[in-house]
Structure 1
Amino acid sequence: MNTKWKALKSAFPYTIPVLTGYLVLGTAFGILMNDKGYSSIWVVLVSLFIYAGSMQFVAISLIASGFNPLYTCLMTLMVNARHLFYGIAMLTKFKGMEKKKPYLMFGLTDETFSILCSAQPPEGVDRGWFMFFITLLDHIYWVTGSLIGSIVGGFITFNTKGIDFVLTALFVVIFVDQWRSAKNHIPVLIGVGSSILCRLLFGAGNFIIPSMILIVLLVTILQKKIEGRDLA
């Protein structure tokens, strides 16, 4: 128990930026779901078991318009294709995690991935539990925010147009925070440059998967240079 408690206390400070962001984002999601007529139970279940951030916002319109399995699968692949590469990138870090690995892979959102890539557990703190609690806390924040939004949405009626922009706002904040805190900007420049290039070449609807492939290739090719800069 002491091992888990130490890991939880060490993990919490790293998740505070996500706490503030996910409460706002989750609240927005809960409000939008409530606006479509779904109860708090459905909101919590979706956030608990799907837990896909941007895809959950997309799913609101998919659910409301009627279920189309093929279209839903293709849309999910396009929106969340980056998570395939997140998982590949984290295979080494998750090595030896045993029973924790399935949940760590399931809970690998953009924000959690960002933290796990940069955060290091303090001396004497178990790395596996440290990563597990970062993932679990972020998940709890999202579910809590969704529940709050669902409850608030039931009492307050207002125009919800544009409320899903909070997702974009959170990405921008995380990007700025990572840029300011990291000494090595090569990975960020690779990500931005690859996305812009693929957006120009493949268009707005088809650039995600090519950009992810290009990012992985460039990071692999420049891995030694990136690691060298990190150690400098």
Structure 2
Amino acid sequence: MKTKAFRAALPYTLPICVGFLFLGMSYGFLMRSQGFSFVYPMLMSLFIFAGSMEFVTANLLLMPTFQPLHAFLLTLMVNARHLFYGLSMLDKFQNLGWKKPYLIFGLCDETFSIHCAVPPPEGVDRGWFMFFVTVLNQLYWVAGATLGALLGYLIHFNTTGIEFVMTALFVVMFLNQWEERKDHRPALIGVGCTLLCLLVLGSDHFLLPAMGLIILCFLWLRRRSPQEVSP
């Protein structure tokens, strides 16, 4: 059962492996360039496993004084989208026993996409399939971050702007979704609400209001045309 689920999950995660190795190495290089041992990105990618927040944490660790409340609120804003991911996964995670806590912890953007778009193949246990998708994706990230930090001992270059790789990843995912779907209303709503909140509230406070406004627009649109809209 486990072997069959692993073999079924592996092909779906290989494209993510390429991206995660590159992004993870970028993160590892960044941490090493700021003077951290390779142990830091290795353990942070293992226990935090939130790519955007890990890049931000590099700066938090360099602050003169640690501010727990600031770190908590910043983490909430950066990863607030996972609140909505989690709500949509409640049914899929039911009755999975000990796997459920780890599946919740390891729910990154790419894993969420596979869980939503790829049903387990016939004859493959759903829980084990989702488990291996999640654990493989995290292993790719941990390996990339660790390898990047280790190479940082040998290779030295200007890492200014390297954190932009996360933004680039989301842009690529957006373009891929745009090309695959005929209905572009959800994408336009997301872009429009985000730009509106950014202009009104500024770059430091726009994220949570933008996501709330997007959800409200989706709910309104779904009530008007429930059979046509798939955010």
Question: 1:213 deviation in Å?
Answer: 1.4
Secondary structure of the structure 2 residue equivalent to 1:155: coil
Report the equivalent of 2:162. Answer: 163
Secondary structure of the structure 1 residue equivalent to 2:61: helix
| Structure 2 length-normalised TM | 0.90
Moved more, 184-193 or 82-91: 184-193
Q: Provide the aligned length of Structure 1 versus Structure 2.
A: 229
Q: 2:37 pairs with 32, 36, 39, which one?
A: 39
Deviations 1:119-147 (A, max 9, x none): 22222222222211111111011000001
Q: Tell me, in whole angstroms, the C-alpha distance in 1 between the residues paired with 2:128 and 2:85.
A: 19
Report the equivalent of 2:134. Answer: 135
Question: 1:208 deviation in Å?
Answer: 0.8
Q: Tell me, in whole angstroms, the C-alpha distance in 2 between the residues paired with 1:167 and 1:57.
A: 9
Q: Tell me, in whole angstroms, the C-alpha distance in 2 between the residues paired with 1:5 and 1:108.
A: 22
Q: Tell me, in whole angstroms, the C-alpha distance in 2 between the residues paired with 1:226 and 1:115.
A: 26
Residues 33 and 85 of structure 1, relative CA distance in 2, 3 Å threshold: same
1:108 maps onto 2:114 in alignment: no
**2:221 and 2:229 in contact (8 A); partners too:** no
Amino acid at match of 2:79: N
Question: 1:102 deviation in Å?
Answer: 0.8
Residues 85 and 41 of structure 1, relative CA distance in 2, 3 Å threshold: same
Residues 184 and 119 of structure 1, relative CA distance in 2, 3 Å threshold: farther
Amino acid at match of 1:120: P
Q: Tell me, in whole angstroms, the C-alpha distance in 2 between the residues paired with 1:224 and 1:116.
A: 25
Amino acid at match of 1:95: Q
The runs of 5 or more residues in structure 2 that have no matched partner are none
Q: 2:61 pairs with 46, 63, 72, which one?
A: 63
**2:222 and 2:229 in contact (8 A); partners too:** no
Question: 1:156 deviation in Å?
Answer: 0.8
Report the equivalent of 1:213. Answer: 212
Residues 222 and 128 of structure 1, relative CA distance in 2, 3 Å threshold: farther
Q: How does 1:1-232 map to 2 (within 5 A)?
A: 3-66=1-64, 67-223=66-222, 228-229=227-228
Residues 4 and 215 of structure 1, relative CA distance in 2, 3 Å threshold: farther
Question: 1:184 deviation in Å?
Answer: 4.7
Deviations 1:87-118 (A, max 9, x none): 11211221222211111111111222222222
Moved more, 128-137 or 49-58: 128-137
Over aligned residue pairs, what C-alpha RMSD do you find?
Answer: 2.1
More helix per residue: 1
| Structure 1 length-normalised TM | 0.89
Moved more, 141-150 or 156-165: 156-165
Between the aligned residues of both structures, percent identity stands at 53
